[in-house]
Amino acid sequence: MPKIPAPSGDPADPGIVFHRHDHAHCAEDALSRAETLSDQRGLRLTPVRRRTLEILLEEHRALGAYEVLDRLAAEGFGKQPPVAYRALDFLVDQGFAHRIRRLNAFTACVHSGEPHSPVFLICSGCNTVAEAPGAEVHGALVGAAQEVGFAIRRANIEAVGLCPACQADEGAASADETTPA
């Protein structure tokens, strides 16, 4: 098993995402950040925007726009795709959520309001998504691009792999396979 840094319990610590933690704390913290930042920016966290963020905050997972739309529709917010897309666009524009291009999905940000260049760690076993600090990775990318005269407009760095729990499951499964029948 790889060495895993002990999670600090801080929602900003990417380690906690892959461990049992007080997720209500993550969700409350992210929601109150979004409320404060919306106020400061003179924007309205309307009921549909707020509900969309709450849905994304239920887990550290990425949800597709149609999954969000189904939930909103079931709660009476409207059935038309723009209902979900407009709310998701607002959350992404304001940094309250990120778009995970690899999954064509969205995940709530637990650092909104802080400048950060995340690297997304996506578990292909359970679809958990964590944000790891990526300033160095982004810096290296900008440097490499500059060397060839390329101006980066957008860079989404996403790594797909297995979280500690899914690695443990996989280890158990392969141990089963080697057991003689």
Q: How far is the CB of 137 from Zn ion (least distance, A)?
A: 14
Closest CA to 16 of 60, 54, 75: 60
Strand 97-100 relative to strand 157-161, pairing: unpaired
Of the pair 77, 121, the CB lying nearest Zn ion is at: 121
Give Cα separations from 16 to 11, 31, 94, 164 (angstroms): 7, 18, 24, 11
Q: How far is the CB of 7 from Zn ion (least distance, A)?
A: 10
Of the pair 18, 77, the CB lying nearest Zn ion is at: 18
Q: Which residue has the tokens 């597709």?
A: 64
Of the pair 144, 155, the CB lying nearest Zn ion is at: 155
Of the pair 17, 77, the CB lying nearest Zn ion is at: 17
Task: Enumerate binding residues for Zn ion (CB under 5 A).
Answer: 23, 26, 109, 111, 118, 123, 125-126, 131, 163, 166
Q: How far is the CB of 131 from Zn ion (least distance, A)?
A: 5
Asked if 118 contacts 96 with a C-beta cutoff of 8 angstroms, the reply is: no
Q: How far is the CB of 156 from Zn ion (least distance, A)?
A: 12
Length of the chain: 181
